[in-house]
């Protein structure tokens, strides 16, 4: 018995002659399949695809021979080239470290004026400083140092101590309100002992300080003088030596509306800035110092 299919039984074939319909445009015969009015042609498989398959298979065989490829239990075939991605990664990291050390060693000295005046050094160092800031500081101070509720902005000229690089470095080294023996201390005590009416009067006075519409001789002004001026200054201008913020500008960490000031007076405030000595190297701290000092370079005087 023959297994040859009768041409007359093939899809699309004329049942009498066994011939398929010919596409009048291309001249190819058709398969008999119709896809929504589109007739499928009986064309040969593209040669370019065949060659592409051949090339890729040949490349795969060559790659298996030259490169690490086949697993052999706990290891793998190393290939004739003996390449190792782990070793390449370590070598690349070492090259980056060596190149970085060429300029990073400059920051082991805290000669900030000389460092800041070296434009070529700043061009290389500041991108690395930006990444260092993002990794260690941005979670609190914001991606661009813009600050947020409870965390001071670093992009203006309003500082709790000073914007001088030496003072910034000191804060980075020892932190604020930490266990470091040389930490800076900044604490706003609670005035919950004060009558609520007095706290409300004092809160309104503090809220009005930025626009200058206060009277220091008023009952609220006297309350301020007796209870707040020893830290914040006679007119609320702040005290850099003890980290007391100015109350006369808009650079307020927690807010200076009446409700927020009332909460501050009732419960007090004490933020924490971690000490970075022991976490970062001396050079990294100095690099961050220069970066933070430059964040406010374009800022005007605090309003």
pLDDT digits over 182-241, tens only? 999 888 899 999 999 999 999 999 999 988 888 899 999 999 999 999 888 888 888 777
3-state secondary structure (DSSP) of residue 86: helix
Class of residue 299 by CB neighbours under 10 A (exposed 0-12, middle 13-18, buried 19+): middle
Which of these, 135, 149, 119, lies nearest to 290 by C-alpha position? 119
Instruction: Report the run of H or E that residue 35 belongs to, with start and end.
Output: strand 30-35
Residue 75 CA: distances (Å) to CA of 62, 68, 69, 78, 203: 20, 10, 10, 9, 71
Q: What is the pTM of this model?
A: 0.65
Q: Report the alpha-carbon angle 246-231-258, nearest 5.
A: 55
- Please provide residue 271's backbone torsions phi and psi, each rounded to the nearest 5 degrees: -80, 165
Q: Which helix (H) or strand (E) holds 295?
A: helix 282-295
Cα–Cα distance, 154 to 160 (Å, whole number): 11
Rounded to whole angstroms, how far apart are CA atoms 285 and 107?
9
Rounded Cα distance between 96 and 111, Å, is 25
CA distances from 68 to 62, 78, 89 (A): 11, 4, 15
pLDDT in tens, 142-196: 998 888 778 888 888 778 888 889 999 999 999 999 999 999 988 889 999 999 9
Q: What's the pLDDT band for 301 if we cut at 50, 70, 90?
A: very low
Given this model, what pLDDT does residue 69 score?
A: 84
Sequence-ordered list of residues with C-beta below 8 angstroms from that of 81, at least 6 positions apart, any chain: 66, 67
- What is the SS3 string spanning 99-157? HHHHHHHHHHCCCHHHHHHCHHHHHHHHHHHHHHHHHHCHHHHCCCCCCECCECCCCCC
Share of the chain above pLDDT 90, in %: 44
């Amino acid at each position: 018995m023959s297994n040859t299919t009768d041409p007359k039984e093939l899809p699309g074939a004329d049942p009498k002659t066994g011939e398929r319909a010919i596409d009048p445009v291309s001249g190819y015969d058709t398969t008999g399949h119709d896809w929504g009015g589109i007739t499928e042609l009986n064309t040969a498989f593209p040669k370019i695809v065949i060659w592409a398959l051949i090339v890729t298979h040949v490349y795969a065989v060559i790659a298996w021979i030259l490169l690490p490829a086949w697993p052999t239990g706990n290891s793998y075939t190393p290939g004739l080239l003996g390449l190792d991605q782990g070793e390449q990664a370590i070598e690349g990291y070492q090259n980056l470290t060596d190149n970085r050390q060429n300029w990073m060693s400059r920051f082991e000295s805290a000669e900030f004026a000389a460092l800041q005046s070296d434009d070529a050094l700043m061009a290389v160092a500041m991108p690395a400083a930006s990444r260092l800031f993002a990794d260690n500081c941005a979670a609190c101070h914001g991606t661009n140092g813009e600050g947020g509720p409870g965390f001071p902005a670093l992009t203006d000229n309003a500082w709790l101590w000073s914007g001088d690089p030496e003072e910034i470095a000191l804060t980075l080294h020892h932190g604020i309100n930490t266990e470091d023996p040389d930490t800076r201390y900044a604490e706003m005590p609670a005035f919950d002992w004060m009558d609520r009416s007095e706290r409300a009067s004092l809160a309104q006075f503090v809220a009005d300080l930025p626009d200058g519409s206060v009277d220091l001789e008023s009952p609220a002004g006297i309350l301020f003088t007796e209870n707040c001026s020893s830290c914040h200054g006679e007119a609320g201008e702040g005290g850099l030596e003890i980290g007391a913020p100015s109350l006369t500008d808009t650079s307020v960490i927690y807010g200076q509306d009446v409700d927020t000031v009332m909460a501050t007076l009732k419960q007090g405030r004490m933020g924490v800035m971690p000490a970075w000595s022991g976490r970062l190297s001396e050079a990294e701290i100095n690099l961050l110092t220069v970066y933070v000092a430059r964040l406010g370079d374009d800022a005007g005087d605090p309003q």
